[in-house]
Amino acid sequence: MIDGIWWLVILFAVIAALWLLAKSRGVKVGETIHINRLKA
pLDDT tens string, the chain, 40 residues long: the values are 667 789 999 999 999 998 888 877 765 555 556 656 666 5
d(CA 17, CA 6): 16
Identify which of 7, 6, 30 has the alpha carbon closest to the alpha carbon of residue 18.
30
For residue 40, the model assigns a pLDDT of 55
| DSSP, res 27 | S
For residue 29, the model assigns a pLDDT of 56
pTM of the full predicted structure?
0.50
Residue 22 near residue 29 (C-beta atoms within 8 A): yes
